[in-house]
Chains A and B, each alone.
Chain A
Amino acid sequence: MANMTDRNTGGNNLVNKLMQAMYTSSTSFTITPGTGGGSAFTITPPFKLRLMTATGSNTANGTEASGNGYTTGGTSMGSSAFGTPSGGVSTNNNAVSYTASGGNLGGGAIVGIEIWDTAATPLRYLQGSITSVTVATGNTLNFAAGSISADASQW
């Protein structure tokens, strides 16, 4: 299927609205569908950016980095993780960085990222791969604001 709908204009601008609700909200909220629309679900910001030493997929988690300056569960992407979408694309609002200490960051080469919420049992929302990078002690791995793109056309 081609792009699911007009992602930027049209009568209801629905894709942008959905993207903004999911990734720009700074407080948790519950979506309750109407009759026959499935179960209610809750989205719990802030989102956290996790580093991976093995990439996952759309259906399976990757292997999370561990130690040496990396905190299990990742680092917050700020109160509004992503900015207002345009054309169904949102990018991260804030820079996120990690500094290695006591060894290579996360125990090995970083090859991917995942974005999880902060529910009591966190849920994974987004994932992607990066160029493999080993971050030696004292060095910092930085994701600049605007460098992480979530594109609704992939949904």
Chain B
Amino acid sequence: MLSLTCNGCGAAVTVTDGTDPDAALACGCCPQDHHHGQAAIESGVACRPITITVGQVQVGPAGGN
């Protein structure tokens, strides 16, 4: 899962693995179609850009270079 924050309303949004986050957002701050970007124009709500925050990442040793 990816955790995203709408820069327009600050809502936290979660999208499932492998989904295009830009197409999947539906935090509710955009009244027209709940789609960030489109609704920013229609409603004046600054829904874009969005920030995608990666969850916990574990890194291990790396060699070979």
Contact = CB atoms under 8 A, between A and B. Distances in A.
Interface string A120-141: 0001111111111111101111
The binding surface of chain A is classed by DSSP as strand
A138 B61 contact: no
A138 B49 contact: yes
Given A132-B17, A133-B21, A139 B51 contact: yes
Contact of A142 (B54, B61, B65): B54
Given A99-B49, A139-B22, A140-B49, A128 B54 contact: no
A131 B1 contact: yes
Interface string A45-60: 0000000000011111
A131 B17 contact: yes
Given A61-B64, A144-B53, A126 B59 contact: yes
A149 B64 contact: no
Nearest to A90: B59
B14 to A, nearest CB: 11
Given A132-B18, A133-B21, A126 B51 contact: no
The 4 A-B pairs with the shortest beta carbon distances in the complex, nearest first, are A128-B59, A126-B59, A138-B49, A127-B62
